[in-house]
Amino acid sequence: MKAVHIAVVGATGAVGREVLRILEERDVTLLGLRPIASARSEGKTVPFRGEDVPVTVISERAFDGVDLVIWDTPDEVAVEWMPKVRDRVVNIDNSSAFRLYEDVPLVVPEVNPESARAHKGLVANPNCTMMTLLMPLAPLHRAANARRVICSSYQSVSGAGVAGVDDLYEQLEKLLPEREAVRRGLVDLPPGRAFVHPIAFNVIPHVGGFDSAGTTSEERRVASETRKILGSDTEIFATTVRVPTVVGHGISAWVEFERPIEADEARALLKAADGVTLEDDPKTNRYPTTLQSSGIDKAMVGRVRNDPANTNALGFFSACDNLRKGAALNAVQIAELLIDKNWL
């Protein structure tokens, strides 16, 4: 594989730190690595391959000499800075800012690698909740054409970045001695940074911003990004929910196909699929849990079962590390694909 100079913008954040860890683990030959963040990180370092590498504050010059940039920043940072460097470097963007642009490929290397070939300096990395659904849905869709999906997510707090993880631990510490108040729902906490309700001991059906129809931006992303990657018009109705876990998103999905599909056939397809590990033996309590999925590179899928009321439909549960396959790992896999195929 060709050696490249990579910059990671947002290297101090939840996803950016994971990108550095994954670059350490994998076979990418680096001419150099430049961690970039905001002025808040001036003077900080990040650990990489046994060294403390100084963080560079973002500026146009921060991208000099770089071949490839992995962006792990909020949307508005990508929107402000990407156009300034897009003609100089190839960009892989983890934000949702450009994912649905027609001229921006949205890529999962196990599912639609060819679409990366036509990039115009920018490849988008998809949403982590969508990824948890897509990894099992893609092989089933290829075999039986998914017409309709109804799903609910169980999303960890790290999906809201470092602030989400801090909110959960701080609130848990405050509430652990307050058993009676928690029992009665009478918790009195200062507002968190990431969520509008307390997340400790809670389940919140609200991820992203609401539109006038009452659908959240996260729910729209699950639907539109799945359709873009599969190139299909599958109808998708999602409810996205935040739960008090640290890493690992879960999704429970009901899928109706164009033809009847037995659970055994679905299990065989999932077993053979790249990026999926089948964990499905209820008799021995084997099924995916989000904790088990944390730190692994594949989506774990189980609870595969037919809908007794509809021979064309089945349900499954999928769990996927939102920081790895849901974000950082997929971005590094896109980088490897571009380098390997000479598509930089």
Ligand X SMILES: NC(=O)c1ccc[n+]([C@@H]2O[C@H](COP(=O)([O-])OP(=O)(O)OC[C@H]3O[C@@H](n4cnc5c(N)ncnc54)[C@H](OP(=O)(O)O)[C@@H]3O)[C@@H](O)[C@H]2O)c1
DSSP conformation class of 55: P
Is residue 222 a contact residue for ligand X (CB under 6 A)?
A: no
Sole residue written with tokens 């990395």: 125
Instruction: Find all residues with CB under 8 Å of 30, minimum gap 6, and list them.
Output: 3, 4, 5, 6, 23
4: tokens are 């490249």
User: From the list 4, 7, 13, 105, which residue makes contact with ligand X (rule: CB under 6 A)?
Assistant: 13
Cα torsion for 145, 93, 13, 331, to the nearest 10°? Answer: 60
Closest separation between CB of residue 175 and ligand X, Å? 23
* Piece of 69-77, 167-175, 196-204, 261-269 that binds ligand X (CB under 6 A): 69-77
Contact 136, 301 (CB under 8 A): yes
Amino acid at 111: V
Q: In the window 19-58, what residues touch ligand X (CB under 6 A)? A: 37-38, 40-41, 58
Closest separation between CB of residue 287 and ligand X, Å? 22
Is residue 100 a contact residue for ligand X (CB under 6 A)?
A: no
Catalytic residue among 119, 141, 249, 320: 249
128 classed as catalytic: yes
Cβ-based nearer residue to ligand X, 138 or 266: 138
User: From the list 77, 134, 135, 300, which residue makes contact with ligand X (rule: CB under 6 A)?
Assistant: 77
Cβ-based nearer residue to ligand X, 158 or 312: 158
Instruction: Find all residues with CB under 8 Å of 129, minimum gap 6, and list them.
Output: 153, 155, 159, 207, 218, 221, 222, 238, 240, 249, 251, 322, 326
What is the rounded distance in angstroms from the CA atom of residue 72 to the CA atom of residue 12? 9
249 classed as catalytic: yes
* Piece of 7-15, 24-32, 140-148, 227-235 that binds ligand X (CB under 6 A): 7-15
Cβ-based nearer residue to ligand X, 17 or 175: 17
Q: In the window 320-339, what residues touch ligand X (CB under 6 A)? A: 322-323, 326-327
Look at residues 125, 130, 108 and name the one whose alpha carbon lies nearest to residue 273.
108
Cβ-based nearer residue to ligand X, 275 or 326: 326
Q: Which residue is nearest to ligand X (CB)?
A: 13
What is the rounded distance in angstroms from the CA atom of residue 45 to the CA atom of residue 24? 16
Sole residue written with tokens 């991208």: 63
User: From the list 6, 7, 15, 133, which residue makes contact with ligand X (rule: CB under 6 A)?
Assistant: 15
What is the rounded distance in angstroms from the CA atom of residue 88 to the CA atom of residue 75? 20
Which residues of this chain interact with ligand X, rule CB under 6 A? 9-16, 37-38, 40-41, 58, 72-75, 77, 94-95, 128, 158-159, 161-163, 322-323, 326-327
Active site residues: 128, 249
